């Protein structure tokens, strides 16, 4: 492995762009590019700076026969697990795949996997992206213990459409739900609420219902026609899309 290949490998493992890496060493991005393609060789003081920055020995950098990095001895590295993979295929300014595992590391790519991940598809303890999965996630479609997104699914979910043990959104489903249209064991909907205990402008409850128009079914099917008429009468036409969904939910419940 050449010096340029080693510099490229170390830089990408740390998730540094050529610009940021160059700034740390006081050189231009073009100089870094020439080093990595073996068009030029760093000066001795830069090689020392690189070894200190990446915690590898100068022998590792300079000896082509040495494929595995040795620590420089300047700082201990035991117990500091880190793995990174970044594809060379780019989409815009993002790598197609970026896997970055380690404490304090962030993965950023079209497909991103890491403790902290950001991408079109993101998987991590904390994930942010178009489709995100994690303990805490934010995305257009979010699946997590704590989920926030356009469509959110989780133990605690907040979104335009949300589903979870506790769900908050315009259209929410779960055990405890809050929103404009809420469906669940305890449902609180400003417009429509359907559940065991329901509270809303139109409230359909099995055991309790509070609202302008209410039905209590005592575990029997709701009167579908009456409920639909109530939704049409009491809910603004601005909610037409969700009104249609709500009418369908009456049959489901």
Phi, then psi, of 157 in degrees rounded to 5: -125, 135
Instruction: Please say if the pLDDT value at position 29 is more than 60.
Output: yes
pLDDT computed for residue 159 by the predictor: 96
The encoded tokens of residue 73 equal 């001895």
Question: Mean pLDDT over all residues of the chain?
Answer: 89
Domains of the chain (ranges; CATH) run 3-62 (1.10.260.40), 83-143 (no CATH), 151-252 (no CATH)
pLDDT computed for residue 73 by the predictor: 43
Per-range mean pLDDT, top range of 92-101, 228-237, 244-253: 228-237
- The predicted model gives 239-247 an average pLDDT of 93
pLDDT in tens, 109-127: 999 999 999 999 999 999 9
Which band of pLDDT confidence, cut at 50, 70 and 90, is reported for residue 82?
confident
Which band of pLDDT confidence, cut at 50, 70 and 90, is reported for residue 72?
very low
pLDDT computed for residue 99 by the predictor: 93
Compute the Cα dihedral for 108, 111, 115, 117 and give only its sign.
Answer: positive
pLDDT in tens, 206-235: 999 999 999 998 767 899 999 999 999 999
160: number of Cβ within 10 Å = 16
Q: HSE-up of 58 (CA within 13 Å, CB side)?
A: 9
Which band of pLDDT confidence, cut at 50, 70 and 90, is reported for residue 68?
low
Instruction: Please say if the pLDDT value at position 74 is more than 70.
Output: no
Instruction: Please say if the pLDDT value at position 70 is more than 90.
Output: no
Nearest Cα residue to 253 out of 183, 191, 192, 197? 183
Which band of pLDDT confidence, cut at 50, 70 and 90, is reported for residue 69?
low
CA distance 7 to 26: 15
Which band of pLDDT confidence, cut at 50, 70 and 90, is reported for residue 140?
very high
Phi, then psi, of 191 in degrees rounded to 5: -100, -60
pLDDT in tens, 158-191: 999 999 999 999 999 999 999 999 999 999 999 9
Share of the chain above pLDDT 70, in %: 92
CA distance 129 to 149: 9
Q: HSE-up of 212 (CA within 13 Å, CB side)?
A: 12
């Amino acid at each position: 492995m050449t010096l340029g290949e080693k510099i490229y490998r170390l830089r990408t493992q740390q998730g540094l762009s050529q610009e940021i890496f160059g700034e740390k060493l006081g050189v231009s991005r073009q100089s870094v590019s020439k080093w990595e393609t073996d068009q030029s060789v760093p000066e001795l003081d830069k090689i020392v700076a690189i070894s200190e920055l990446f915690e590898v020995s100068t022998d590792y950098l300079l000896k082509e026969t040495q494929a595995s990095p040795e620590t420089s001895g300047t700082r201990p590295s035991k117990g500091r697990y880190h793995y990174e993979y970044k594809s060379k295929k780019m989409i815009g300014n993002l790598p197609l795949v970026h896997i970055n595992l380690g404490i304090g590391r962030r993965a950023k790519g079209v497909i991103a996997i890491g403790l902290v991940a950001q991408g079109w598809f993101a998987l991590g303890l904390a994930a942010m992206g178009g489709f995100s999965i994690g303990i805490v996630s934010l995305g257009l479609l979010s699946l997590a213990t704590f989920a926030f997104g356009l469509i959110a699914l989780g133990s605690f979910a907040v979104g335009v459409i949300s589903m979870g043990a506790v769900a908050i959104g315009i259209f929410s489903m779960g055990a405890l739900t809050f929103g404009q249209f809420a469906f669940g064991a305890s449902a609180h909907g400003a417009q429509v609420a359907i559940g065991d205990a329901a509270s809303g402008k139109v409230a359909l409850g099995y055991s309790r219902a509070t609202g302008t128009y209410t039905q209590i079914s005592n575990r029997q099917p709701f009167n579908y026609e009456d409920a639909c008429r109530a939704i049409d009468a009491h809910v603004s036409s601005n909610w037409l899309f969700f009104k249609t969904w709500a009418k369908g939910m009456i049959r489901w419940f």
